[in-house]
Amino acid sequence: MNKLLIVGTVAFDAIETPFGKTDKILGGAGTYIGLSASFFNLQSAIVSVVGDDFPQEYLDLLTARNIDISGLEIVKGGKTFFWAGKYHNDLNSRDTLVTELNTLADFNPVVPQNFKNADVVMLGNLHPLVQASVLDQMTQKPKLVVLDTMNFWMDCALPELLAVMKRIDVITINDEEARQLSGEYSLVKAAAKIHTMGPKYVVIKKGEHGALLFHNKEVFFAPALPLEEVFDPTGAGDTFAGGFAGYIAQSENVSFENMKNAIIYGSNLASFCVEKFGTERMENLKKEEVVERLKQFRALTQFDIALQ
């Protein structure tokens, strides 16, 4: 069975949307990536850090999904990373209300021995130095390294981000971040410029407007599924990335053709994530539902025109 190594936050989130609000619930990029990737046939491990305020039931939830948490450090007397945010009415933008780094401030990732030869590495959104440290620990070159990042690191740690970008295969960022990173408004030009910074594959996430996968002169587009209601967008991007990395890890195929399938799976899984608050929908999601929705994705975009 192939191995997927995930680094990313495991956290508490408090979320407010026009549909309601939550207390502190399970959150974090690593959590969403791990839950999403657990729908594939693979061995996965999360490298992360929490405080001893982190409930055992959340740890059990991860291990029940066959996620190795031996690289999830639990700091005695420490507090878990906490984020609180409030979404605006259109759900496309949000205000961050609280960011308490807590144990994340001094996070020093340690890759479990038996994942130092992982086939695929998914570097969730974290300080680029943490992402680089994980790559430093690999004893065997992974078949694919995927990196997710955000504007915050472009503002505060650009040299470190540019350095780790030279060591990865795929970058996933959103449209605004792609524009910021490249200085280009056109996403086609932005992707071309980001290619020159290292990643052979550039995935640009456009939220409800889908995602684009660029590779040299080729481009593929995966739509987001049009939904009656988006309940809570938290974790959608991480769920997308987890689906992408999980599908690649399972299939052992890093071709562009196969990456098309991977971003369709990413979109598929993300379309469930937003249907409930936090991780709720991902926790209860069944594999048959994912396969059923794949048919909807087919119907949504597949056409058959004779070239005349």
The residues that touch a copy of itself, with contacts defined as CB under 8 A, are: 89-90, 185-189, 206, 209-210, 212, 218-221, 223, 226-230, 257, 260-261, 264-265, 291, 294-295, 298-305, 307-308
- Cα angle: 293, vertex 123, 247; to 5 degrees: 30
DSSP state of 222: E
In the complex, least distance from residue 299 CB atom to a copy of itself, rounded to whole angstroms: 7
Q: Residue 5 or 249: which CB sits closer to a copy of itself? A: 249
In the complex, least distance from residue 14 CB atom to a copy of itself, rounded to whole angstroms: 24
Furthest CA-CA distance within the chain = 70
Q: Residue 79 or 293: which CB sits closer to a copy of itself? A: 293
How far apart are alpha carbons 36 and 240 in whole angstroms? 8
Joined together, the tokens standing for residue 248 give: 């690649």
For CA atoms 199, 201, 207, 209, give the dihedral sign.
positive
- β-strands 144-148, 25-27 pairing: unpaired
How far apart are alpha carbons 182 and 184 in whole angstroms? 5
Q: How many CB atoms lie within 10 A of CB 225?
A: 17
What's the Rg (C-alpha) of the chain?
18
How far apart are alpha carbons 114 and 97 in whole angstroms? 39
Joined together, the tokens standing for residue 177 give: 């971040």
Phi, psi dihedral angles at 225 (to 5 degrees): -70, 130
Q: Residue 137 or 253: which CB sits closer to a copy of itself? A: 253
Q: Which residues contact 112 (CB under 8 A, 6 or more apart)?
A: 45, 47, 68, 70, 71
> How buried is residue 184: exposed, middle or buried, by Cβ count under 10 Å (0-12/13-18/19+)?
middle
Q: Residue 97 or 227: which CB sits closer to a copy of itself? A: 227
In the complex, least distance from residue 276 CB atom to a copy of itself, rounded to whole angstroms: 16
In the complex, least distance from residue 88 CB atom to a copy of itself, rounded to whole angstroms: 12
Q: Residue 25 or 294: which CB sits closer to a copy of itself? A: 294
In the complex, least distance from residue 2 CB atom to a copy of itself, rounded to whole angstroms: 15
Q: Residue 57 or 304: which CB sits closer to a copy of itself? A: 304
Q: Residue 114 or 301: which CB sits closer to a copy of itself? A: 301
In the complex, least distance from residue 112 CB atom to a copy of itself, rounded to whole angstroms: 29
Q: Residue 164 or 204: which CB sits closer to a copy of itself? A: 204
Q: Are 38 and 67 in contact (CB under 8 A)?
A: yes
Among all chains, which residue has been given the structure tokens 């999601």? 285
In the complex, least distance from residue 148 CB atom to a copy of itself, rounded to whole angstroms: 21
In the complex, least distance from residue 123 CB atom to a copy of itself, rounded to whole angstroms: 25
